[in-house]
Structure 1
């Protein structure tokens, strides 16, 4: 019997200690990550699931009004969400989770449920039981994005064999131009590059404010890193990586100074990140999505493919409850 209980603040420690024990827990499931947002930004409605009195699953969630409906959503402060799951999840328990979720949402007077599913490769032990269960109970796709995934080999030499020749030449060019790559604490310099780049290319601002990003670096010094490329000691490009879990590393922000594009700093940045990730025992590198509301940025997708990446879904699903 599964019991759904609304999360209480005094359970934060128990929550965060539980996440790493699960099959698919990520940095985005941690309360210590979700709490960097001001309390007033989201109306938290996270859920803890118990089975026979023991903690079984966690669902980071919030209340929002979407299209005029009171909606239980995967926590908006996280890139992905859904339930944390045990490695030995049974089909019966996956059905039970979805059935109880619907009952709970109806009892709480929600009119819709919207869940952001993590890519399958974020799991240690692959399983589609939850997706199967969601759809058996009537969930449908709300959005399907595509993220670019690279499987890292045991050495950088074997990994670079997946690169297209043009990308290998770009790495060599950056080396010839004396581009230096290293981890950096200069978040302000990177943020200036990021802000300018997003405004020029897309007319938008970064997801995080500078203060929020610096706070995240302080909260997770071992899980969030800035890899930066320097030319004559000037930062000209950077990649902010998030350690999703023990096997997956995500590129959350990628940006460069347009004035130095011909130096191919981003190419050598990724080469060095792959090398570091392999030594750190990561198995998968996630470049992030190259689609927005399902529409592809073909140039960005091709850039990631040239490193040997391929695309997998990052899905959002929903269920109208009509209650």
Structure 2
């Protein structure tokens, strides 16, 4: 197959064991040029517990307590079928798009990488009402690849409680950073989404895409 362009998306610098821009510089030297720069929200968990807690806004702590009052339970799960049904409804309602993976593809990835792909869920009684699929990318960083919740339970604030539990899990695993994912699409920011993530103590990091014409 013939092709005339190569597109490369460079992960944020926090994914590097040794932070360095050598790779990007090398691409620029051979003629690559910037195509777009998205912003990813990242929480630095390589801090003291006191500093991490201080960076989380009181509104999220209040939402955490509200979820607990509603009896929300957080647990790891292998019920990807139920999670996927919530994800599809969530994405169609909010963005009119489909997930990157089919359910079969996601289940296959989990089977191939059972230690690197973890589903954390929030339950109300016996019903899954929210979930986050986390990818353990390397020894430094965990990425929230899929985030969703059942809109009927939005006022219960399950995601707030879920993320705070995941932070504890990330810290116990010895990882340094938690990547919420991007809050921009084609460089256009979703300010509400950015604010939600910043209230957990997240900061913005570039996720650059370079292009090479052959």
TM bin, normalised by shorter chain, reads over 0.9
Q: Which residue of 1 aligns with 2:129?
A: 236
Q: Which residue of 1 aligns with 2:202?
A: 309
Q: How does 1:109-124 map to 2 (within 5 A)?
A: 111-124=4-17
Distance between the aligned counterparts of 1:205 and 1:127, measured in 2? Answer: 35
Is 2:50 the partner of 1:149? no
Residues 152-161 or 181-190, more deviating: 152-161
Deviations 1:289-308 (A, max 9, x none): 11111111111111111101
Q: Indicate which of 173, 177, 180 corresponds to 1:280.
A: 173
State the secondary structure of the residue aligned to 2:41. Answer: strand
Q: Which residue of 2 aligns with 1:28?
A: none
State the secondary structure of the residue aligned to 1:207. Answer: coil
- Equivalent residues of 1:155, 1:275 under 8 A apart: no
Q: Which residue of 2 aligns with 1:129?
A: 22
Shift of 1:174: 1.0
1:307/1:235 Cα in 2 relative to 1: closer, same or farther (>3 Å)?
Answer: same
Q: Indicate which of 141, 145, 160 corresponds to 1:248.
A: 141
Moved over 4 A (4+): 154-157
Distance between the aligned counterparts of 1:159 and 1:274, measured in 2? Answer: 10
RMSD: 1.4
Shift of 1:157: 5.0
- Structure with max Cα Rg: 1
Q: Which residue of 2 aligns with 1:186?
A: 79
Structure 2, unaligned runs of 5 or more: none
Shift of 1:319: 2.1
Shift of 1:112: 2.5
Shift of 1:144: 1.1
1:270/1:155 Cα in 2 relative to 1: closer, same or farther (>3 Å)?
Answer: farther
TM-score after normalising by structure 1: 0.64
Distance between the aligned counterparts of 1:157 and 1:241, measured in 2? Answer: 24
Is 2:70 the partner of 1:177? yes
TM-score after normalising by structure 2: 0.95
Higher RCO (Cα < 8 Å, 6 or more apart): 2
Q: Indicate which of 268, 271, 291 corresponds to 2:161.
A: 268
- Equivalent residues of 2:46, 2:175 under 8 A apart: no
Q: Indicate which of 98, 118, 142 corresponds to 1:205.
A: 98
Deviations 1:67-109 (A, max 9, x none): xxx53xxxxxxxxxxxxxxxxxxxxxxxxxxxxxxxxxxxxxx
Report how many residues are paired: 214
Q: Which residue of 1 aligns with 2:118?
A: 225
Distance between the aligned counterparts of 1:317 and 1:153, measured in 2? Answer: 29
